[in-house]
Amino acid sequence: MAAISNPVPGGSRNSAGLVPPEPVEPVTSGQAPGGAGAAEPGPRGSGLGLLSRFRPGRGVVMAIPYGWLLLFFLIPFLIVLKISLSEAQLAIPPFTPLTETLAEEGRTVITLFWDNYRRLTGDDLYIIAYLNSLWIAFVSTIFCLLIGYPVAYAIAKADPRWRAPLLMLIILPFWTSFLIRVYAWIGILSDTGLLNNFLMMLGIIDSPLRILYTPTATYIGITYSYLPFMILPLYATLEKMDNTLLEAAADLGCPPWKAFLTITLPLSIPGMLAGSLLVFIPATGEFVIPELLGGPDTLMIGRVLWSEFFNNRDWPVASAVAIALLLFLVVPIMLFQNVQGRQQEAGRG
C-alpha cells in the first residue's frame, strides 16, 4: 500500500486514466486476482459509496469545488460570450454594455453587436490563422506519434525493473520550465546556432539553413514540448496489453511485424487517441511556441488572440476569436472527455 511506485512525485500533467499504471504492482488484497470484484459487494461507484451515506457533510464537500468551478470556470465563458457581442470603445472597461436602460421609457434594451464575428469571417487573416493552427497542431501531433510510439513501446517491452526509471526520464522534463525548454531551441536552431554549425562542420551545407523564425521551428517546438503527453497514455495502453495474443500469433507462424500490425497497433488505438488529443487540443491554441520560434509570418490563432487583446486592446474581438476557437475545439474536447471517462471506468478494475 505504501508503494508510490511512480517515482516522480506527481507523475504527469495528465489525466487520470492516462497516468501510466504503476510498473511494479503493489500487492494489495484488492488487486489480487479476482479480489477486486469479489471482495466488494459493489458499493463503490454505485451511488451508495460510503461517503454518500452522510448527507449533510456530503453537501458541504460538494458545494465548495462545485461552486468554485462554476464561478471561476463556467461563468467566465458566459462573460466571454457576452463581451464578444459588445462593441469596443475607448473606456474602462473597453467595451459597451449589452443592456441599456432607456430612462424615459423605463425598459431595458439589449443590443447584440455581431460585427466582431462578421470580422472573423470577412478577414482572411483570421481564417488563415485558424486553418494554420489546426494544420500545425495536426502535423505536430503526427510527429509526436511517430517519435512517441517507439519510445512508449520500448518502455512497455522493457524489463519491469527498467520501466519505472525510464518513465521517470520521460516525465522529468515536465518539472523543468516549459518556457526555458522552448527557449533552448533558439540556441539550437538560429542561423549561428548549434545545428547549423554542426551541419556546416560536417560539410553537408555551405550556408546556414534558415530554421528559426519559420513554421518548421514551430513544428519542432510543439513536438518537443508535447512529446511526453503522447508517450504516457500510449505507454499506459501498451503496458496493459495481453502478451498471450502475441505468443499465440507467433505459435501460429505469424511474423513479428505482421503481429504488430494486426494485433498491437489496433489494440493501442485508445492510447494513440488519448495522446493525440492531449497534444492536438492545447497545441491548436498555443501562443508561446509560435511567438518565440515562429517568426512574424507563422500565424496561429493564439497569437492573433493575444495581439487583439494586448496590442489592439480590442477585447470584444479577442473574445469572439476565443469563442470561435472553442467551437473548433468542442468536438476534440468532448472526445477527450469521453476517452478519459472510459479509461477511468477501466481503472476501476
Partner 1 sequence: MPKSWFLRIGLVTGLLFLYLPILLLVILSFNANRSVAVWSGFSFHWYRELFNDQQLLSAAWLSVQVAFVSATFAVVLGTLAGLMLARFGAFRGRALFSGMVSAPLVMPEVILGLSLLLLFVSLEQLTGWPEGRGMLTIILSHITFTMAFVTVVVQSRLVSMDASLEEAAMDLGARPAKVFFVITLPIIAPAIVSGWLLAFTLSLDDLVITSFVSGPGSTTLPQVVFSSVRLGLSPKINALATIVVAIVAVGIIIAGIYNARQERMRQLDEKMAAQG
Count interface residues toward partner 1 (CB under 8 A): 132
Residue 205 CA: distances (Å) to CA of 157, 185, 341: 39, 20, 50
The strand pairing partners of 120, in sequence order, are none
Residues 19-38 vs partner 1: string with x where CB under 8 A?
x----x-xxxxxx-------
Residue-wise burial string across 177-191, b where 16 or more C-beta atoms lie within 10 A, e elsewhere: eeeeebeebeebbbe
Cell of 245: 495474443
Which one, 23 or 215, has the nearer CB to partner 1? 23
One residue of 37, 76, 122, 160 binding partner 1 per CB under 8 A: 76
* Neighbour-count burial of 294, counting CB atoms closer than 10 A to its CB (0-12 exposed, 13-18 middle, 19+ buried): buried
- C-alpha to C-alpha distances, 148 to 17, 129, 161, 170, nearest whole angstrom: 18, 27, 21, 10
DSSP string, 274-343: HHHHHHHHHHHT--HHHHHHS-TT---HHHHHHHHHHTS--HHHHHHHHHHHHHHHHHHHHHHHHHHHHH
Label residue 98 exposed, middle or buried (CB < 10 Å: 0-12, 13-18, 19+). middle
Of 37, 122, 160, 187, which one interacts with partner 1 (CB under 8 A)?
A: 187
Of 141, 190, 264, 268, which lies in the binding site for partner 1, with binding defined by CB under 8 A?
190
Measured from the CB of residue 39, what is the shortest distance to partner 1 in angstroms? 6
**CB-CB contact of 189 with 215 (8 Å):** no
**Positions in 280-299 near partner 1 (CB under 8 A):** 281-282, 284-288, 291-292
Residue 326 is a binding residue for partner 1 (CB under 8 A)? yes
* Binding-site string for partner 1 from residue 45 to residue 74, where x marks contact by CB under 8 A and - marks none: xxxxxxxxxx--xx--xx-xxx-xxxxxxx
**Of the ranges 122-130, 145-153, 245-253, 263-271, which one interacts with partner 1 (CB under 8 A)?**
145-153
Q: Segment contacting partner 1 (CB under 8 A): 77-85, 103-111, 120-128, 244-252?
A: 77-85
Least spacing, CB of residue 258 vs partner 1, in Å: 15
Query: Is 202 among the residues that bind partner 1 (CB under 8 A)?
Result: no
Rounded to a whole number of angstroms, the distance between the first and last alpha carbons of the chain is 17
User: Among candidates 187, 179, 158, 185, which has minimal Cα distance to 170?
Assistant: 158
Which of 217, 272, 277, 317 touches partner 1 by CB under 8 A? 277
CB closer to partner 1 out of 215 and 279: 279
Q: How far is the CB of 54 from partner 1 (least distance, A)?
A: 4
Query: Residue 33: what are its φ and ψ, rounded to 5°?
Result: -55, 130
Nearer to partner 1, 8 or 267 (CB): 8
Q: Cell numbers at residue 112, please?
A: 447584440
Which residues 157-186 are close enough to bind partner 1 by CB under 8 A? Answer: 157-159, 162, 166, 168-170, 172-181, 183-186
Minimum CB distance to partner 1, residue 315 (Å): 7
Contact status: 131 vs partner 1 (CB under 8 A): no
Among 37, 79, 111, 342, binds partner 1 (CB under 8 A): 79
